[in-house]
Amino acid sequence: MARVAIVIVTYNSGAEIGGCLEALAREPEAEILVVDNASADNTREVVRNANVRLIANPTNRGFAAAINQGIGETTAPLILLLNPDAHLLTGLSALAARLVPPVAYAGGLLLDLRGQPQTGFMVRNLPTATALAFEVLGLNRLFPRNPVNWHYRCMEMNPMTPGVAEQPAGAFLMFSRQAWLEVGGLDERFTPTWFEDVDFCARLKRAGYLGVYEPAAQARHSGGHSFTTVGAAIRRKNWYGNLLEYAARHFGIIGFRVVCAAVVTGALLRAVIGWPRNGSKAFRIYGGVLQVALVRLFTSRTHVTTVAEQKCEKSGSREY
C-alpha cells in the first residue's frame, strides 16, 4: 500500500495537467488519482495518455466533493491535495515527516512562474470577521500593509523558515486520512470551489490538530487556470456566497452580520465604481452578490454541515 495518495481535481486543465503529472515522476511510490469534473477540453485524454488513474465525473461536482470522492477511492494513510497547475519541484518526504500527531496537516513552498515565493497565498492565518470585512470592502487592496491584512496573509513570515501554519494553501496540502475522517472530510456545500480548504483547516484546528509549513517541499504554481471559462458574475457570486457560508459557520452572530454588511457595502461600491467603464454589466455582476448578501443579512445564519454530520443526522446519531 502506498504511504501517500496524491489527489488532483481537474476542470478544463488540459494545458496544465500534463506538466503536473510529469513532475510527479519524482514520486514513483505515491498513488496518483485524478478526478475530472466534466472538463470540456482534452484533460481526460492527457491523463489517460499518462497512464494515471482517472475518475471521469459526468458533471461538475465541485472541488470539495471531488476531493472526498478521490480520497474514498484510496487507502493511503497520507493524502496530498495538489492543483493541476502546481508542478512538484521536490520530493514529498519532508512534508510527510512533519505529520506526527498532533500535527495533522502541512503545506509547502509555492513558487510563482518567476521563482518567487507566493507569500500571502501559500500560508495564511485563519480569517477573522474583520479580515474578511476588510477584504470585501477593498481595504486590503487599497492599504495592503494594514495590520489586519498583514497578519491575515502572514506577510511577516520568512518563506525559507518552517513554522506553524493555520491555513496552508489547498493547492499543495498534505494531511492524514485519520484527521480527514475525524472532521468529516471537506464540506461539499462549498461549491463549486473557494473556502472549502479554509473551512477544512479551521475544523482541523478546532479538533485539536496542528498545521505546519515546510519549505523543503516545493512546487511551482501558476494559479486560477480553470476559472477563465467561467463568467465574472458567476465567479463573484460563488466566491462571495462561499465567503458568507464560512462566516456563518465560524463566526458569532455579530461577526457574521458584520461580514454580511461589508459584502453589501462592497458590492454597491464596486457596482457604482464600475459603471463608467462597464455600464450596466457592473450592476449585473454585483447584483447577484448583493441579493445573496441581503438575504443572509436579514435572515438567521445557516449551519453548513459536514458530510459526516449529514449522515449522522439521517441516522439520528450525533456521534461521528
Of 174, 176, 170, 155, nearest to 221 by C-alpha is 170
With CA atoms as reference, report the closest residue to 66 among 89, 36, 100, 107: 36
- Judged against a pLDDT cut of 80, whether residue 4 lies above it is answered with yes
Residue 246: C-alpha distances to residues 132, 161, 195 (Å): 10, 29, 7
Find how far residue 252's CA is from the centre of its chain.
22
Q: What is the pLDDT of residue 317?
A: 31
Quote the DSSP letter at residue 24. Answer: G
Domains in the chain (CATH in brackets) are 4-122+159-227 (3.90.550.10), 129-147+231-320 (no CATH)
pLDDT tens readout for residues 22-46: 999 889 999 999 999 999 999 999 9
- Average the pLDDT over 236-254 and give the result: 94
> Which pLDDT does position 225 carry in this prediction?
62
Beta bridge partners of 138: none
pLDDT of 306 above 90: no
Whole-number pLDDT of residue 312: 37
**How far apart are the C-alpha atoms of 20 and 25, rounded to whole Å?**
9
pLDDT at position 300:
57
Alpha helices in 184-306 (DSSP H): 196-206, 232-250, 253-278, 280-297
Q: Which residues pair with 111 in a beta bridge?
A: 117, 220
Residue 72 has what pLDDT?
97
Note the pLDDT tens digit of each residue in 190-241.
Answer: 988 899 999 999 999 999 999 999 999 999 998 766 555 566 778 888 999 9
What is the pLDDT confidence band of residue 277, given thresholds at 50, 70 and 90?
Answer: confident
How far is residue 28 from each of residues 21, 51, 79, 92, 304, measured CA to CA in Å? 11, 13, 15, 11, 38
163: closest CA among 128, 219, 215, 118?
Answer: 215
Averaged pLDDT of the chain: 90
Assign 3-class secondary structure to 60-105: CCCHHHHHHHHHHCCCCCEEEEECCCEEECCCCHHHHHHCCCCEEE
What confidence category does residue 301 fall into, taking pLDDT thresholds of 50, 70 and 90?
Answer: low
The candidate with the shortest Cα–Cα distance to 222, out of 114, 143, 94, 101, is 114
Predicted confidence (pLDDT) per residue in 149-200, tens digit: 999 999 999 999 999 999 999 999 999 999 999 999 999 999 888 999 999 9
**How confident is the model over 4-28, as a mean pLDDT?**
95
Say if CB 183 and CB 204 are below 8 A apart: yes
Judge whether residue 297 has pLDDT over 90. Answer: no
Binned at pLDDT 50, 70 and 90, residue 21 comes out as very high
- Give the pLDDT of residue 275: 83
In contact, 106 and 168? CB cutoff 8 Å: yes
